[in-house]
Amino acid sequence: MKTIQILGTGCPKCRQLFANAEEAVRTLGLEAEVAKVERLPDIVKFGVMVTPALAVDGVVKSAGKVLDASEIGELVNA
């Protein structure tokens, strides 16, 4: 099972990306867990300077934009 991590401090775009990730898991049948990373020191450890960001199993796949469910599915399955 993969882990999808949403990196962000809780802004509206971060919350939307989290919701889209949950939708991707649900509707696309992905075997993944969605987790939030909201503490700034933890986000910086990923090397991310713009949020929201999405990481899959600890590897940043996207930063600075809100991906839709299908885009998230492509990144998780890549």
Q: Which one of the listed residues 10, 11, 35, 65 is annotated catalytic? A: 11
Are the CB atoms for 60 and 30 separated by under 8 Å? no
Q: Which one of the listed residues 7, 14, 30, 55 is annotated catalytic? A: 14
| Host H or E run for residue 45 | helix 40-45
Catalytic annotation present for 14: yes
Catalytic annotation present for 77: no
Annotated catalytic residues are 11, 14
